[in-house]
Amino acid sequence: MRASVVVRSKDEAYRLRLTLASLARQTVPAEIVVVNDGSSDHTRAVVARADMPVVYVEHEQPAGRAAATNAGAARAGGDVLIFLDGDTLAAPELVETHLAAHRQAAGAVVARGETFNLRGTRALLDPDSGLPMPHEALRVNQLPAAELARLRITLADVTENFAAIAARGVEGIYQGAGPRLLYALEMDALQNHPDCTVLWAAASGANMSVSAAGFREAGGFNPRMAINAHREFALRMCRAGARMVPAIGAKSYHMIHRGGWRDPLVETAWEAEFYRAHPVPAVALLAVLWRSLGTPPLQPAAARITSLPRLEQASGTCAHVCGIEAVRQHHLQMAMAGAT
C-alpha cells in the first residue's frame, strides 16, 4: 500500500518550502503531489528545488481548495490519498500512521490525524528567515533578536529538530479557545464514540486520508463549496459505508498567518450548498455547535451543543423539520422549553 500526499497551495511559497521539507523526511516515503492554485509568488521555483520528486499541477487562475484537491487526486498514483495544505508541517510519522489506519481497518475509512497550530508564525511572511508580512514589518523589525528567533520555524528545525516544533504546537488548526475546544470534542468523538452517526463532522480539511478508489467513487470534493467541502465529502463517504477513524500519531502543525482564512460563521454560502445536497438537521446545526464554543458562547446556555453525541441527539429532535433556519429555531425552542 502506497500513499500520495496531495498538497494544496496558493501564495504561500515560503511556508510550502518548509512543508515539502517535512514531507521529504517521512519515516515511510510517499508520492508528493503539489497543486499550485493560481499563486502569484515563487511557488513554482520552490517546487522545482524540492528535496524529492514532486508531481506538479498548476492552475493559471485560483480554482479554490476543493477543485485543487480534486486536481491533485486526479494525478495521484497512490492507494491512499492524504490531504495537506501548503502552510502545514507533517510530523515524521504522519504518512506511516495514516497508512496503518487504512491497513488495520475492516472496510473503508476516512482517517483524521491530530491537528495543531504554531501561532508564533502569524506575522511572518517567511517563518524560516523571519521576514515579516509587509503590514507587520514595523512591529517585527522592532522585536529583540531573541524574540524573533523564538517565533521562527527554520529549515534546520524541520530537518534536524522536529521535536522542538512539536513542543510549540497548540491543539486546533487555528489559535484560540474555540478551535481548541472543537478539536478536543472532535477527537473525543472519534476515539470514544465510534458509533456516533455524525462523525463526518469531525473531518479535517488538512491531515485527512481516504483510499484513492473511495475518493474517486464518491466523486471527490464539491467544487461549489469554498468552505466545509471536506465535511460534506466525509458525509458522502459515511453514507456509502465508510467509517471515520482517528489516526493517532499522524500529527500536523499549521503555520498560521493573520490573513487568508475563512470563517464559516461569517461566510455562510456553504450552508445552502451543503444542506441542498444533504437536507438533514445535523448539517443545519453545525453552526450552532460552533457558536456554542465561542468566547463568550453565541448560543443561550440551554441551546448549546458542545459534543458530537449532543449534535446527534439534537438532530434527532428536529428530524421532522425542514430548512436550515427552521431546524435551528426548532432546536432553540425545544431547548428553551426544556430549561423552564
194/297 same-domain check: no
Q: Identify whether residues 22 and 84 lie together within a single domain.
A: yes
Is 160 inside a domain boundary?
A: no
Question: Which pLDDT does position 266 carry in this prediction?
Answer: 80
Q: What pLDDT does 260 receive?
A: 53
**Who's near 91: CB < 8 A, 6+ residues apart?**
22, 162, 166, 250, 251, 252, 253
Give the confidence band of 265 by pLDDT, cuts at 50, 70, 90.
Answer: confident
| Residues 215 and 297 reside in one and the same domain | no
Q: Are residues 242 and 307 located together in one domain of the fold? A: no
Question: At which residue does the C-alpha cell 483510499 appear?
Answer: 211
pLDDT at 176: 87
**89 burial via Cβ count (<10 Å: 0-12, 13-18, 19+):** buried
How sure is the predictor about 259, in pLDDT bands with cuts at 50, 70 and 90?
low
Q: Residue 261: pLDDT above 70?
A: no
Q: Determine, yes or no, domain membership for 309.
A: yes
Which residues fall within 8 angstroms of residue 230, CB to CB, at 6 or more apart? 83, 203, 204, 205, 208, 221
State whether 99 and 241 are in the same domain: yes
* 262: pLDDT strictly greater than 70: no
> Domain of 63?
3-119+169-254
Q: Is 228 left (phi over 0), alpha (psi -120 to 50) or beta?
A: left
Any domain includes 268:
no
pLDDT given at position 48: 97
Instruction: Tell me the CATH number at 95.
Output: 3.90.550.10
Residues 222 and 293 in one domain: no
Q: Classify residue 29 as exposed, middle or buried by CB count within 10 Å of its CB (0-12, 13-18, 19+).
A: middle
User: H or E segment at 310?
Assistant: helix 308-317
For residues 105 and 247, state if they share a domain.
yes
Given 238, 254, 270, the domain boundary residue is: 254
Give the tens place of pLDDT for each residue, 161-170: 999 999 999 9
Residue range 50-103, pLDDT digits in tens: 999 999 999 999 999 999 999 999 999 999 999 999 999 999 999 999 999 999
Judged against a pLDDT cut of 90, whether residue 336 lies above it is answered with no
Clarify whether residues 291 and 205 are in a common domain: no
Whether residue 155 is contained in a domain is answered as no
Q: Classify residue 267: in a domain, yes or no.
A: no
Q: Is residue 138 one of the residues assigned to a domain? A: no
Q: Of 211, 237, 254, which closes a domain?
A: 254
pLDDT at 258: 62
For residues 117-127, give the mean pLDDT. Answer: 94
Q: Using the structure block, give the residue that is written with the C-alpha cell 511556508.
A: 15
Predicted local confidence at residue 49, as pLDDT? 97
Q: Both ends of the chain: CA-CA distance in Å?
A: 56
* Whether 41 and 79 share a structural domain: yes
In which band, very low, low, confident or very high, does the pLDDT at 339 lie, cut at 50, 70 and 90? low
Domain count, the chain: 2
pLDDT digits (tens, 9 = 90+) for 268-313: 889 999 999 999 999 999 999 999 998 787 788 888 999 999 999 9
Q: What's the pLDDT score for residue 106?
A: 84
In this structure, the answer to whether residues 87 and 211 fall within a common structural domain is yes
Same domain, 22 and 57: yes
Considering the domain boundaries, does residue 81 fall inside one? yes
pLDDT surpassing 70 at residue 36: yes
Q: Single out the residue in 254, 288, 318 at which a domain terminates.
A: 254
- If asked whether residues 304 and 250 sit together in one domain, one would say no
pTM for the full model? 0.95
Rounded to an integer, what distance in angstroms lies between the CA atom of residue 161 and that of residue 155?
9
**Phi-psi group of 327: left, alpha or beta (phi > 0 → left; psi -120 to 50 → alpha; rest → beta):** alpha
Task: For residue 228, tell me if it sits in a domain.
Answer: yes
pLDDT of residue 334: 87
Residue 317 is predicted with a pLDDT of 94
